[in-house]
Structure formats: structure tokens, C-alpha cells
Chain A
Amino acid sequence: MNLTIRLNSNFKLKNPVTVASGTFGYAEEFKDFIDLNLLGAIFTKTITRFPKSGNPPPRLVETSSGMLNAIGLQNEGVEDFVKNKWPYLRKLGPKIIASISAINTEDFVYLARYLEDAGIEAVELNLSCPNVKYAVTCSRKKFIGNGNPIMFAQNAAATYNVIKAVRKKTDLFLITKLSPNVTDITAIARAAESAGTDALSLINTFFAMAIDIHTLRPKLANITGGLSGPAIKPLALRMVYEACRSVKIPVIGMGGIMNAADAVEFMLAGAKAVSIGTANFVNPHIAIDILYGIKKYLKEKRIDNINKIVGKIKLR
């Protein structure tokens, strides 16, 4: 059975099951629970140029079939990543994709070049963290209704500009992580494609909140956070489906995937690969269970090549 996914002519995954940024640390945290080498790819926790302390707690709240988080990209910075985490990751079999984020274009370019120099092959541009304040200047205005600066991934021009700037300076395989907090995902997806990203990954989490009715306070110290988990799966699937139909580059689909059937749905909608996120918290072994479940599905359907299900949703 052929499970190999070709994302472009020289970047391929040995299977379509990957783990999403921010839900798998730097992989070592999971090594006792799972054979890391069986994964298709590992997306690291997002790395920033300088160490970032993150948001005050409470940072995490459980909601119906989901959870809110407002971590705020806590990490030790890119220098620490290359020195202390990359040596472990680079010895692993799967493709390692370094998720990076910055509040401005200059730092995105810096991070990409720094990681390329360290021998990293692929990065994910996290343009869509709901819990940090980006310094995005777009054509119309800098702020939207709630007073927060918008994220890159909420504006087609801002998305285009940052990707274009990174694209010009590196030969890395570039994946761009998109936000679901937009009115038209296809417009952002097309802007990213035309700026030269090699692939898209979506979705990041939905802006959301919860209030404690006894203390009358928001349950997250950050007030709002990002909703993830099985609660968002149908919303994510719709956006991945629309994005896949609007671009030619490969799409990595994610959002609430809990089992193999969920993963197959995203692939039928057009995703070439899938990412497992919140489910890693529920069951640290789940990515491999999902991989075996996909294989079982293909066998039952007598399909010898995973690529034959990509985009095969029947519309009539």
C-alpha cells in the first residue's frame, strides 16, 4: 500500500498523518507513548525570535467537546530551539516542520533564514495565532472592532506581503497556517498561493470565550482564546474543502480530528495530509491509531494508494 504523500517534487511525507503545532511540544515529550518515527511529519511548537513568556494563567478551559487556550506562544526563542531542541528532532525519521511566528515581517524573515542556516528543511508560518497581538499594517486600517490588531492571516494583502518577503530570502519548504477567523478563506488562500507558499495548513483555532457565572469573570485571563477539539471539526472541514477548491498547492487539513474517519473526511475534501492537534492531549498515542485506521479503511475499500482518496468527495 502506498501511503507516500508528495507535497512538491522534492518534499514528501511517508504518510499523511502529522501532529499539529502547539499540541506536541518538541516531540520528545511524547517519546514514551508513541513511536515518533511512524509519523508523517512533526510540526513543532511555535518558535519566536526572542524568548516569550506567554499569557498569564488561566490559559486553558474545557468546553463542550472542546477546549479554549490562550497560551500566547510561550517559548524559549529560536536560539534555544536550535541549540537544545533541534539536535533531538533532526535525528528523527519524520519531516520536521518548524512553526515560526513574529509580529512583523522582518522577524519572520530572520527566523526563516536562521532556521535554514541550522539545516531545517521546512517551516510553517504561523500567521494566525489568536492569542498574540501582531503589528500588521494592512491597506485600510490597523485595528478591527475589538481593538486588537488583526492577525496577518485575516487580511489577504498582509498575508501576501509577509509570505513574499520570506519567499524571496529562503529556499525552505514554506507552509502557511491560516486562520478560520475570516469571512472568505478562499481569498486568503489564493493570496498565500500567489505569494509563493508551497503549501497551506488550516485551520488554526477559532476566537472564542467562556465566562464563569459565579465570579462573573472570563474563564481565561486573556479574556478570549482559541477553540479547538471535536467541537470545531465540521467548521474546519468546510473551510478546508473551500480552500482546497480555490488553490492548486497542497493543503494540510486539521481541526478537531479525533479518529481515522475524521482524517479520511478531510482527505476526501481535498487535504493531502492531516494534522492531529487537541486529540494528542486526550490520547498521546492517537496519531498512530489514526494512521492504522486510515490503512484499514484503504484496505477495506481495496484502495492501494492513499493519493487516490484525496479530493474524491462526490458532489453529485
Chain B
Amino acid sequence: MLYQKQAFIVENKQIAPAVYKLKADIPGLAGHLKAGQFLHLRIGESYDPLLRRPFSVYKIENQKGNGRKLICIIYKVIGRGTKILSQKTKGELLNVLGPLGNGFDFIGTGLKNRPVFLVAGGMGVAPLFFLASMMIKKTKPDFKKNVIIFIGSPNRQELVLTKEFDELGFKIQLSTDDGSRGFKGYVCELLENYLKKKKVFPLRPYVYACGPNNMLKALDALAGKYRLDGQISVDKMMGCGVGACLGCVVKVKDNCNGQEAKYKRICKDGPVFKINEIIWED
């Protein structure tokens, strides 16, 4: 079931130079959200910008005192839509569609004794934090020791949620493009260094990833080289968000018809795809 609801902004706070954390009360929605699903937000009443903006959720927080569940989003200001969103204040309303898309498939016992890597680029860290929190709830405490979180970002200011991952007790490796914190370079380079050093591939590592297309493309290349299995979540400009307009497609290998490729909708068939399912066109 999909819902169209009004979200009441409880907090919209700047946490880094261009990064904001939004908490909203969306009655009746929190319980239906899976890690990796997204919400399609209408930023304002104006027709300019016209379309909704998709955001993934990183946390559902219990509000103290009243038992309400708040939906938490982290976003970076990159264009007009996110700029306008960043100016919204407590008490303002946003129209929301959700939960949309297929979230990550937590394969549970399928991960037994396998190294699990959560690989995040930029704001892609958000749905992976939701997934990690869910993993904690669904697994025994020693599951964590097989998991490593890799987070990459342009600079140290935009490395977000590292403290939160730390508090959950996960091992973390960090990279920044400018070297201001952690490994200097891209997160997939950091991951490759680890794979080279540890030679874990006989244990069939499993990856959950979310980040910009270039990162996911690099990850797909690594997956071929090191026999990684897993799931990636793709972000793209969307129209309707519900699978009707066919505006947000990626080319995928079509398993049903042999080698032929076809376009799948990120909003409805994704945003999570299998590693090496996508044929990157740009």
C-alpha cells in the first residue's frame, strides 16, 4: 500500500556546510518503511520547481514523551529543490508519497559466515544506516563482527553518520576525495585496497551499496574482479515516482530473454538492483 500524506516538520537542521537533517512526523507511515525505500516530497506549493524530489530515510526515531515515530532524512543542498527544502522550518508541512520502491533485501541467513560490506558514497550513507540498524535488530550480536562499513565523501565535513555507525558497534573505514579524513581517494579504491590485502573473496563477500552513479559503476567493476555479490541502490531525478512516467530508467540485463537488455524503472523496479545487473550507459 502506498500513501499520500502531510508531513509536519519537527526539525530541519544544518549539520555540515551544505548538509541538512530533516525530522518529520508523518502519521501512519513510519511502520511501513523498509530500508532502501524512498519518500517523494513536494517541496512547496509553487509550480517552479515543478516535480517532487526523492529522499531516502536513514532513521525512524521515537519522539520522547508522546510515542510518535519521526522519520529522519539527511540531504545535501545541490539544486533549487533542496535549497528551498533547506529553508523550511519547524511546523511547516510537506506533501509526501511513500513508501516507494523496493528496499534492500536483507537475505539474513544467506549472509552467514560471509563478510558483509556496506559501501556508501556521499548521502548514499542514509539508506545504509537504516539497513545497518535493521540488521542489529534482526541478527545476533556477533553478526556485526563480519560487517564493515565503508563511507566515502568529498571532504570531512560531509562525512555524516560516522558517529552513529560507531555507536551501533560497527567497524568503519573512511575515505575523502581531498584526504581531509581517512583514506585519500574514492571509497571503491579504499574497498579494493582492503580486498587486495585481506583476500576474503573465497568467503563470498556480500555488498550493500548506495551512492553516486560513478561510485556504483566502479563497484560493479570491482564486483566482477573480486567476485562480489550484493545489491546497489541507484539515485536519479524522477517524475512520478510510482512507475507511470518511465522517466527514471536504467538499462539492465534481461535474464528472461537471454542477452537482450531492457530499461527498468528506478522508482518502481528499483531503486535497489543486483550488483552487475545494470548496464551503465553514461
Binding site for B on A (CB under 8 A): 22-25, 29-30, 32-33, 45, 53-54, 56-62, 64-67, 69, 71, 74, 221, 229-230, 258, 278, 280-285
State whether B250 touches A57 (Cβ < 8 A).
yes
**Beta-carbon contact of B249 and A45 below 8 Å:** no
Q: Is the CB of A283 within 8 A of B3?
A: no
Contacts of A282 in B (CB 8 A): 42, 47, 50-52
Give chain B nearest CB distance to A257 CB in angstroms: 12
Nearest neighbor of A33 in chain B, beta-carbon distance = B4
B247 within 8 A of A: yes
In the complex, the answer to whether A65 meets B239 with C-beta atoms within 8 Å is no
Q: Are B50 and A54 in contact (CB under 8 A)?
A: no
What are 23 A-B contacts defined by CB distance under 8 Å? A23-B245, A24-B244, A29-B240, A29-B243, A29-B268, A33-B97, A53-B263, A57-B248, A57-B249, A57-B250, A57-B263, A59-B246, A60-B248, A62-B51, A64-B48, A74-B249, A221-B281, A278-B50, A281-B52, A281-B244, A282-B42, A284-B240, A285-B4
Contact of B2 (CB < 8 Å), options: A22, A33, A62, A230: A33
- For A64, list chain B residues within 8 Å (CB): 48
A281 adjacent to B263 (CB under 8 Å) = no
Chain B residues 225-264 with CB under 8 Å of chain A are: 236-251, 261-263
Q: Is B27 an interface residue (CB 8 A)?
A: no
Q: For residue B240, which residues in chain A have a CB less than 8 angstroms away from its CB?
A: 23, 29, 280-281, 284
Q: A62-B50, A282-B42 are known contacts; what are 15 more A-B pairs with Cβ within 8 Å?
A: A54-B246, A54-B249, A57-B281, A59-B249, A62-B51, A62-B237, A65-B48, A65-B50, A67-B51, A69-B247, A71-B245, A74-B263, A229-B47, A282-B47, A283-B42
Q: Interface size bucket, B side?
A: 35 or more
Cβ-defined contact, A23 with B263, below 8 A = no
Establish whether residues B48 and A71, one from each chain, have CB atoms under 8 Å apart when the complex forms: no
A-B pair number, CB within 8 angstroms: 105
| C-alpha spacing A59/B246, complex, angstroms | 8
A52 to B67, CA, bound (A): 50
Give the Cβ gap from B21 to chain A, nearest Cβ, in Å: 25
Complex contact B245–A281 (CB within 8 A): yes
Q: Contact at A53–B262, with CB atoms within 8 Å? A: yes
Is B50 within 8 A of A284, CB to CB? no
User: CB-CB contacts of B195-238 with A at 8 A, as 1s and 0s?
Assistant: 00000000000000000000000000000000000000000111
Instruction: Tell me the nearest residue of chain A to B2, going by C-beta.
Output: A32
When the two chains form their complex, are residues B245 and A69 in contact, meaning their CB atoms are under 8 A apart? Answer: yes
The DSSP consensus for interface residues of chain B is: loop
Shortest distance between the CB of B282 and any CB in chain A (Å): 7
Q: Which of B95, B250, B281 contacts A283 (CB 8 A)?
A: B95
* Chain A CB within 10 Å, residue with most, of B1, B236, B246, B263: B246
Alpha-carbon distance between A285 and B96 when the two chains are bound, in angstroms: 12
* Cβ 8 A contact of A60, one of B4, B245, B261: B245
Contact residues of B with A, CB < 8 Å?
A: 1-4, 42, 47-52, 95, 97, 236-251, 261-263, 268, 281-282
CA gap between A283 and B245 in the complex, in Å? 13
**Complex contacts, A53 vs chain B, CB 8 Å:** 261-263
CA distance A54 to B265 in the complex (A): 12
- Which residues from B are CB-within-8-Å of A221? 281-282
Nearest A-chain residue to B241, judged by Cβ: A281
**Contacting residues, chain A, for B52 (C-beta < 8 A):** 281-282
Contacts of B238 in A (CB 8 A): 60
Alpha-carbon gap, A229 to B247, bound state (A) = 15
Q: Do the beta carbons of A258 and B243 come within 8 Å of each other? A: no
Bound CA–CA A35/B238 (angstroms): 24
Contact present for A281 and B47 (CB under 8 Å): no
- CA of A221 to CA of B4, assembled, Å: 32
A210 to chain B, nearest CB (A): 12
Residues of A within 8 A of B239 (CB): 60, 67, 69, 281
Distance in angstroms from B280 CB to nearest chain A CB is: 11
**Given contact pairs A32-B1, A32-B2, A53-B263, A60 touches B50 in the complex (Cβ within 8 A):** no
B102 to chain A, nearest CB (A): 15
Closest 3 CB pairs of A and B: A60-B247, A25-B244, A32-B2
CA distance A33 to B240 in the complex (A): 12
Instruction: Quote the shortest CB–CB distance from A160 to chain B (angstroms).
Output: 31
Chain A residues with CB under 8 A of B247: 59-60, 69, 71
| Minimum CB distance partner of A74 in chain B | B246
**For B42, what are the chain A residues with a Cβ–Cβ distance below 8 Å?**
282-283
Q: In the complex, A23→B244 CA distance in Å? A: 6
Given contacts A33-B4, A57-B250, A74-B263, are A25 and B50 in contact (CB under 8 A)? no
**Residue of A32, A59, A65, A69 touching B3 (CB-CB under 8 A):** A32
Residues of B within 8 A of A61 (CB): 237
Of all chain A residues, which has the CB nearest B240? A281
**B268 proximity list for chain A (CB < 8 A):** 29
- Are A258 and B246 in contact, CB atoms less than 8 angstroms apart? no
Contacts of A30 in B (CB 8 A): 242, 244
The CA-CA distance from A280 to B243 in the complex, in Å, is: 12
Given contacts A57-B250, A65-B47, A278-B50, contact A284 B97 (CB under 8 A): yes
Chain A residue numbers with a CB within 8 Å of B49 are 62
CA distance A271 to B209 in the complex (A): 51
* A58-B242 contact, Cβ under 8 Å, with A32-B1, A282-B50: no
Also in contact, A284 and B246, with CB within 8 A (given A64-B48, A65-B47, A67-B50): no
Residues of chain A lying within 8 A (CB to CB) of residue B241: 281
Is A60 a contact partner of B242 (Cβ separation < 8 A)?
no
